[in-house]
């Protein structure tokens, strides 16, 4: 089996949700504009580092979805997101904080690590480069609101960054957060992951894969207000037997897919 951070984090959040998605084949529909826009924006960023016209690439990629019936957040539209994206690209170039040497090799980098029992773990990193001259792993994020920066050090607990550091052995990691709002903002958030954290994460992965392989899929429902994880879970319709919600959010690909780890490419 090949595991990814997406799979493991979904299992840790709720094993039942993991079963719905990875074993029963229930997948979330691609109807959220922000998610699809994020992919287009990352393609444009790749073009920027290759010395191409990144604004033109953003338009070309996003134009494919001009007439798609997406769910837009309040106040958003196809046009507005395009303008926000173009401003962010311009701002990113002006900031000039990030350098990616040899972009062909250092963008969308794949790391694979062997686990016990013949399993593998795979991660796709957005970039390996320099932030203000310091070598680090970089993950791009596009979002409608700022990431919380307080208290200081919070980012070093981010499981995705810990995972990237664990699989690559590189301690310095960063999120570059493109905030789509009226006045576009880019956050450059750095963290250093310790050797202890990497070792802990390795143990967590091995233990989680063990539970997965023993077929344990209890539901971890989050029914407490206000942090109710079920509300943002695409599988909520299945758990409360609500056909309308199922049809709205999910499509079904019967059976498990060996290619589910490819999801990691679009996270």
Contact call for residue 239 and ligand SF4 (CB under 6 A): yes
Find the binder of ligand SF4 among 233, 246, 249, 264 (CB under 6 A).
Answer: 233
* Nearer CB in complex with ligand SF4: 55/233: 233
Contact call for residue 221 and ligand SF4 (CB under 6 A): yes
Q: Give the H or E element holding residue 74.
A: none
Alpha helices in the chain (DSSP H): 5-13, 15-18, 33-49, 54-63, 78-95, 103-106, 159-168, 195-213, 236-239, 243-249
Q: Is the peptide bond before 244 cis (omega within 30 degrees of 0)?
A: no
Contact call for residue 21 and ligand SF4 (CB under 6 A): no
Pairing of strands 134-143, 26-28: unpaired
Find the binder of ligand SF4 among 6, 17, 123, 168 (CB under 6 A).
Answer: 17
Kindly state the smallest distance separating residue 28's Cβ from ligand SF4, in Å: 11
* Nearer CB in complex with ligand SF4: 198/235: 235
Residues 80-139 that bind ligand SF4 (CB under 6 A): none
Contact call for residue 165 and ligand SF4 (CB under 6 A): no
SS3 state of residue 1? coil
Say how many residues touch ligand SF4, by CB under 6 A: 12
Find the binder of ligand SF4 among 131, 212, 236, 246 (CB under 6 A).
Answer: 236
- Gap between the Cα atoms of 190 and 161, Å rounded: 10
Contact call for residue 197 and ligand SF4 (CB under 6 A): no
- Gap between the Cα atoms of 42 and 39, Å rounded: 5
Backbone phi, psi, residue 231, to 5°: -65, -30
User: By the criterion CB under 6 A, which residues form the site for ligand SF4?
Assistant: 14, 16-17, 219-221, 229-230, 233, 235-236, 239
């Amino acid at each position: 089996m090949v595991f990814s951070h997406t799979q493991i984090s979904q299992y840790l959040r709720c094993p039942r949700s993991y079963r719905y998605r990875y074993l029963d084949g229930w997948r979330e529909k691609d109807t959220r504009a922000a998610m699809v826009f994020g992919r287009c924006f990352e393609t444009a960023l790749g073009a920027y580092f290759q010395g191409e016209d990144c604004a033109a690439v953003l338009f070309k990629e996003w134009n494919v979805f001009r007439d798609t019936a997406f769910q837009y957040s309040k106040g958003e539209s196809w046009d507005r997101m395009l303008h926000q994206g173009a401003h962010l690209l311009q701002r990113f170039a002006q900031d000039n904080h990030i350098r990616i040497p040899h972009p062909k090799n250092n963008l969308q980098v794949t790391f694979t690590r062997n686990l016990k029992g013949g399993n593998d773990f795979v991660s796709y990193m957005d970039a390996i480069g320099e932030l203000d001259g310091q070598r680090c792993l970089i993950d791009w994020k596009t979002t409608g609101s700022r990431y919380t920066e307080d208290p200081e050090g919070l980012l070093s607990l981010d499981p995705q960054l810990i995972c990237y550091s664990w699989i690559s052995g590189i301690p310095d990691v960063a999120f570059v957060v493109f905030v789509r709002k009226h006045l576009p903002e880019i956050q450059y958030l750095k963290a250093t992951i310790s050797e202890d954290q990497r070792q802990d994460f390795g143990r967590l992965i091995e233990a989680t894969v063990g539970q997965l392989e023993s077929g344990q899929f209890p539901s971890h429902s989050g029914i407490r207000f206000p942090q109710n994880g079920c509300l943002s879970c695409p599988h909520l319709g299945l758990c409360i037997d609500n056909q309308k919600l199922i049809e709205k959010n999910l499509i079904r690909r019967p059976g498990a897919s060996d290619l589910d780890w490819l999801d990691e490419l679009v996270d």
